[in-house]
Chain A
Amino acid sequence: MPFDVMEYFRQETLPHIWCPGCGNGIILRDFAVALEKLNYPREEVVIVSGIGCSSRAAGYLNFDTVHTTHGRALPFATGIKMANPALKVFVIMGDGDAAAIGGNHLIHACRRNIDLTAIVFNNSIYGMTGGQFSPLTPRDKKATTAPYGMIEQSFDLCRLVEAAGATFVGRATTYHNQLLTQLIVDGAKHQGFSLIEAVTHCPTSYGRRNGLANPSEMVRWQKDNAVWITKVKSGEVTPSGEQFTIGELHKHDAPEFTAMYMEVIKRAKCQA
């Protein structure tokens, strides 16, 4: 079904602030396509973001949107969803935003299994501040604060949130953008906390320092290193080196938090 993606945007706020060659616009378009497929009433959709390049995405979208404080998008979103569970709440974060300053909120949102759909734009770097390493910067890569190479171990964000209790976990890239759209749709339909890691490319702050100055080279790197989870599970491929899995990585059913709280309200009213 053809549709005009631009109707999802506050066109007066465009052009966006992202650098030429940035992958964030691809994710944003995939998100808009996912919203079209989901076809929720527009007034029921709320988009919450943190701070960083990725989090500017919320302001471009024509819904109720909140650009919160650094790392805190999930607790803001938790408050909104809890206050009005009828709202469809999406959360946009960056890798530093979600996994460093917001890491504690991330694991607790997973543990609560509150019905939020989180999309983490993972560009492996702090882009807005000019290229400092994040908890998702791979070992040995360079950043302005790791000029001799990253010595810390990076998180596998998807494994982290699965262990913390997230009930839907997926990963795609800006190359695999149809998969990304599908994961957002499936994550939103899933009752509970969903996290979709969107591997994106930052030629300006990450690529240039790591031998991938050209955006198309960075997208090719994604294509070459992404391994479908189905092929891993079937034993066809074993990821090695820089390779990472994509697809729907984990899903299970568990009680959803706001639904459980409605039961608390029933119990409290009976006792009152």
Chain B
Amino acid sequence: MRELDEISLMQGNEACLQGALDAGVRFFAGYPITPSTEIAEGMAQKLPAVGGKFLQMEDEIASMAAIIGGSLAGLKSMTATSGPGFSLMQENIGYACMTEVPCVIVNVQRGGPSTGMPTAPAQADLMQSRWGTHGDHPAIVLSPWSAQETYTLTVKAVNLAERFRTPVILLLDEIIAHLREGVRMPDPRKLVLTERPRPLNRENYRPFGGELDEIPPVADFGMGYKCNVTGLIHDDVGHPTGNPVIADRLIRRLVGKIQAHKDEIIGFEELHTEDAEVVMVAYGASARSSLRALKLARAEGVKVGMIRLTTIWPFPEDPIRQAAEKGIPMLVPEMNLGQLVLEVERIAAGKSRVKHLGRVDGELFTPTEILLALKERF
């Protein structure tokens, strides 16, 4: 374990690995898949050295199941995958939502659908990260734009999973995962880390109870609380039930516990929005090209700003709403045919113009093409 502040040249995937270890992840199960494999390889190397456990499972379904098991036994748990594997994990992600098991799922986005372009970037899993599993459910999804931010958002993802007893998805893309940058990592002992709420005693133990904004304490398996965990609708002690009142309350609480605390989760950065005549809404690798386009535009006297999202879900509505209320047009560059833009349009609600710029050819935007799109009337 590192015991000093350190600056290292590392890939996004390596920064993710290091962030997870520093955040206390001690259980990882995964299956090889490009472009996320370096995370599993790093975990196989480093986890046992800190007394943690690494499993290479037979597929991504089993990987997701195993990390839920690891978390039930009390360890901070994570998996990492990419497109096809992320699709396979969906059912058990829903199980973790329903049973309130903390865990982190890293999805390094690659071109799809299906096998697509395994070594090329994409941002087309944005809606899947919100709605990939069936049924109403909560979602916390973070997305970094650099190796540095991959480190900090991985720590945040682990903390949020524990804080809210829910799966947290870290949405990388192939570019962020594989680019190499300097990453400043603090002494891990200086990091603020979160542990899931655990009960103080067995009296009135209600691991699935509480108010609609509440995250009830839960005991690890082996602590003697004799808890039942089920993906069926269940009452506050975990017994299955078909009672419609209990069903309604459970689903509303699972979603409500995230909604009520969304200010703790939502992160974004505003760049030059004060005087902007047009604003880009971007995240991940697309935001890097967008930043360059912003600088080129400003050099030409075009006042461009950017709202850069680091949290995708819950959706950061406030900065978008503020821009829309001022009537500022918004450009949404993303490596898909229109996913984030749907949310931006929903919040803009016709008060300002919203334009989409998409790429699905496995190539990152050039700053020039974003610049041209900014200059076009829309």
List residues of A whose CB falls within 8 A of some B CB. 10, 12-13, 42-44, 46, 48, 58-59, 62-69, 72, 74-84, 86-87, 104-105, 108, 261, 264-265, 267-269, 271-272
Contact = CB atoms under 8 A, between A and B. Distances in A.
A72 B92 CA distance: 9
B29 A79 contact: yes
Contact of B227 (A64, A68, A75, A81): A64
A79 B239 contact: no
Given A67-B232, A79-B66, A87 B61 contact: no
Nearest to B224: A43
A76 B69 contact: yes
A75 B232 contact: no
Contacts of A13: 239
13 contacts: A13-B239, A44-B222, A59-B230, A64-B72, A68-B68, A75-B69, A76-B65, A77-B69, A80-B221, A82-B55, A82-B69, A84-B74, A105-B62
Contact of A84 (B29, B67, B77, B222): B222
B269 interface: no
A82 B52 CA distance: 10
B226 interface: yes
Contacts of A264: 48
B95 to A, nearest CB: 5
Interface size class of chain B, counting residues whose CB lies under 8 Å from the partner chain: 35 or more
B73 interface: yes
Contacts of B91: 69
Contacts of B223: 43
A244 to B, nearest CB: 28
B116 interface: no
Nearest to B26: A83
Contacts of B365: none
A75 B57 contact: yes
Contacts, number: 145
B230 A82 contact: no
Given A62-B226, A69-B92, A72-B65, A87 B49 contact: no
Given A62-B226, A78-B69, 9 more contacts: A59-B240, A64-B72, A66-B72, A68-B65, A69-B91, A75-B66, A79-B69, A108-B57, A268-B48
B228 A10 contact: yes
Nearest to A257: B55
Given A68-B95, A69-B92, A87-B73, A75 B226 contact: no
Given A64-B227, A78-B66, A271-B49, A72 B72 contact: no
A105 B223 CA distance: 28
B5 interface: no
Nearest to A80: B69
Contacts of A59: 228, 230, 239-240
Interface string B257-270: 00000000000000
Interface string B25-63: 001010000000000000001101101010101110111
A45 to B, nearest CB: 9
B231 A68 contact: yes
Interface string B67-84: 111111111010000000
Contacts of A46: 221-222
A44 B222 CA distance: 5
B178 to A, nearest CB: 26
Contacts of B69: 48, 66, 75-83
What are the 9 A-B residue pairs with the smallest beta carbon separation, nearest first? A79-B69, A43-B224, A83-B73, A79-B66, A268-B48, A75-B65, A75-B62, A272-B49, A67-B230
A67 B69 CA distance: 11
A65 B219 CA distance: 12
Contacts of A76: 65-66, 68-69, 72
Contacts of B68: 68, 76, 79
A10 B239 CA distance: 10
Nearest to A12: B239
A183 B306 CA distance: 66
Given A69-B92, A72-B62, A87-B221, A63 B226 contact: yes
Of the candidates A46, A81, A82, the one having the most CB atoms from chain B within 10 angstroms of its own CB is A82
B275 to A, nearest CB: 52
A83 B70 contact: yes
B95 A43 contact: no
B48 A83 contact: no
A59 B225 CA distance: 14
B224 A42 contact: yes
B251 interface: no
A69 B65 contact: yes
Interface string B90-106: 01100100000000000
B247 interface: no
B229 interface: yes
A77 B77 CA distance: 14
Contacts of A44: 222
A87 B222 contact: yes
A43 to B, nearest CB: 4
A84 B59 CA distance: 22
Contacts of A267: 48
A48 B63 CA distance: 16
A56 to B, nearest CB: 8
Contacts of A65: 226-229
Given A10-B228, A12-B239, A67-B232, A108 B65 contact: no
Nearest to B103: A79
A66 B68 CA distance: 11
A64 B240 CA distance: 15
B226 A79 contact: no
A105 B29 CA distance: 14
A72 B29 CA distance: 14
Contacts of A87: 73, 221-222
B73 A80 contact: yes
